[in-house]
Amino acid sequence: MKLAVVECLNNVPLSDFDNEEISTIIRLLASCKNIGAGKTELVLAKIFWIITKLAKEKEEESGKNFRIKFGEQAVNEALEILIRNQSR
């Protein structure tokens, strides 16, 4: 189910992302506890792709909103995932 959600979000133009969609992406990132289970790695890959595009986006308001409101949280969640991945 999560993979289908992030695949849909990956097809949404960055200009259409509002705080609700960005918050959903961050929640999905935070909810991935068991990295090796099922298709979790694919979900994480899609999420990282989306947040990378948002972080790089200079023209759209969605990129600015992401960096200001969600950037630090996204980095912290990514680091937590890297720590869990390293320990497995």
Rounded CA gap, 20 and 22, in Å?
A: 5
* 39-84 pLDDT per residue, tens: 888 889 999 999 999 999 888 888 999 999 999 999 999 999 888 8
* 7-45 pLDDT per residue, tens: 988 898 988 988 988 998 898 888 877 777 778 888 899
Is 14 inside any structural domain?
no
Is 20 inside any structural domain?
no
Domain total in the chain: 1
Is 2 inside any structural domain?
no
User: What is the C-alpha R_g of the chain?
Assistant: 13
Is 85 inside any structural domain?
yes
Tell whether the torsion through CA atoms of 48, 45, 2 and 27 is positive or negative.
negative
- For 47-83, give one letter per residue: b (16+ CB within 10 A) or e: bbebbebbeebeebebbebbbeebeeebeebeeebee
Contact 30, 78 (CB under 8 A): no
Is 27 inside any structural domain?
no
Is 40 inside any structural domain?
yes
Provide the residue range defining the domain that includes 88. Answer: 36-88
